[in-house]
Amino acid sequence: MVKNLVHTFILIFILVAGNVCYGQVFLRNSGDCLLLTNIPQPDFIRIRKYKKNNQEQYKKLVQKAALKHNLSFELIDAVIAAESGYNPRAISCKGAQGLMQLMPGTADALKVNNAFDPEENIDAGARYLKAMIDRYGSVELALAAYNAGPKAVDKYRDIPPYKETQGYVKKIKAKLNPNDSINSRKKAPAPPKNGIKVKKDNKGNIVISN
């Protein structure tokens, strides 16, 4: 009880200090933890027609993204299931948002207006996943980059030795067609010296570069 009170007072202090020094700070319950963020409470009213755990409701959006970005339906479906369990309102302890759990920085780079809008989220998540596949030439490494970040994949030039990431890749790969040649495992290329940047070209395509 005392420990919980101490934690509460600490959180209140952080929130107050954040408001004074850096602008508004929000405390949000993500389900698994309490999350401090500078992102306002999402406007779920506009997407209230979308329900949690209703995979069938998102089938057309997944099919649309798969055709648009030349990915398999099964791959996008498996990533959504692993990332959010088809909960469009999901927020992780790290701040990842929506069905495909886009980090705010990634969502901004992909020009996402509302990361909780299923159509925007799935399209952006698929674009990013396709960019990772194009970079690494391997679904396994792309999934590792999606989960742990491309810096981790570049560092190890392989699936990082993180239990969560290795389990994540294994879980999703088990749902894919084992005969798909793009799933073949190979070493990641040497990391670019100045790090990876995600941006859009003049045609609106996502470009991964250094």
| Residues assigned a catalytic role | 83
In angstroms, rounded to a whole number, what is the distance separating the alpha carbons of residues 135 and 79?
18
Measured CA distances, 72 to 164, 165, 180, 197 (Å): 24, 21, 10, 25
Alpha helix (H) ranges present in 137-176?
A: 139-148, 150-156, 163-173
Query: Which residue carries 């670019």 as its tokens?
Result: 192
In angstroms, rounded to a whole number, what is the distance separating the alpha carbons of residues 141 and 55?
26
